[in-house]
Amino acid sequence: MQTQGVADIIEIELRNMNAISGELNQCQNRRAHLDPDFKLTSSIKELVRVWRNTTEQNMYLTGGIGPSAHNEGFTVDYDLPSLTAYQETCATVALAQWSHRLAMYAGDYQKYPGCLWVGDPFYYVWPPRILSNMGDNRKAFWCPAANLDSSWDTNFNNSLGATGPTGVFDRFGVSHTICFSYGYNDWGLQDYSSPLPQLGMGGDVNVVGEINDNRVRNPSDMIVITDSKSDGSFDGNIDPKESDQWPCNRHQGRTVLNYADGHSEAARRKDVNDPENDTWRRRWNNDNLPHPEMTWTVDAVLEAKLDP
């Protein structure tokens, strides 16, 4: 009876996954039928591909994912040990939601939200631009491992408040002097003083504009959002070249990264910021090239220090 019960569960799960896969295809077909100009963008294609790989090759019957404590993520397909299953979720739940919503945003607008509006003070546009796609849930914009005063909540973060692009004061506005726990890859490895062509996911939107969805050559290898240092100094963006804008390593030396295809991973920050590592250099740039002409150095002692 116990064996039969497990078999029944497996059959139900397979039916569910097949049904959802079928619904995805039907939605695509219906959208194409209603809109002759509809084209499935690269990011949405990647999102569907990653979702299917996750649910069909890397998910436990319980719905848990991530078998490895070493990288807080996947290893190889069908590596699903029972006794040593890690299945850690707290560091990636919010970023997983963001991955889904960012892909929806890109699919709807054919471009990414961009990072910053240059004004007095600066104003980060990416959080409010995707907030409605998050069900207006500001809690999803706070890493639970970060200090509470970096949350997007005026009850705990009294640094919030900035004038937006329309000239109206936004009491939830995030400026460059406000504590925040997540940051956006604005320029990639390009220097902001010579921002064209943009290599990141979109920098100063009222100066250089947003980047189109099709500019991202390899969405599964393109960093969008990571943990950010919550120190009130340009927390809403990240830059591997500038120590005050490095991704935060609050997860035991690791930083959680969200990619343009919808997946997340926890990587060692010293690898993510390493100027000698071409694999990681590529991941900062929307053309997926390492750009060796961009140079910087990393202070090993400063890098090893854990951020709050």
d(CA 177, CA 124): 11
Q: Where are the domains of the chain?
A: 93-304
Return the pLDDT at 100: 63
Q: Give which of 219, 300, 226, 225 is closest to 260, Cα–Cα.
A: 219
Q: Report whether 228 contacts 181 (CB < 8 A).
A: yes
Return the pLDDT at 135: 79
Return the pLDDT at 134: 78
Return the pLDDT at 43: 52
d(CA 255, CA 272): 9
Residue with structure tokens 């220090």?
A: 305
**Residue 226: helix, strand or coil by DSSP?**
strand
d(CA 78, CA 187): 37
pLDDT in tens, the chain (308 residues): 344 454 554 455 445 545 444 544 544 444 444 444 444 455 555 656 666 677 677 777 666 666 776 666 677 777 778 777 666 655 456 556 656 666 667 767 788 999 999 988 799 999 999 988 777 889 989 998 999 999 999 999 999 999 999 999 999 999 999 999 999 999 999 987 776 689 999 999 999 999 998 899 999 899 999 999 999 999 999 999 999 999 999 999 999 999 988 788 899 999 999 999 999 999 999 999 999 999 999 999 999 999 98
Q: Give which of 131, 117, 290 is closest to 210, Cα–Cα.
A: 117
Give the sign of the dihedral formed by CA 150, CA 155, CA 158, CA 160: positive
Amino acid sitting at position 97: Q
Return the pLDDT at 101: 64
Compute φ and ψ for 211, nearest 5 degrees. Answer: -105, 140
Return the pLDDT at 262: 78
Q: Give which of 220, 140, 120 is closest to 180, Cα–Cα.
A: 140
Return the pLDDT at 301: 95
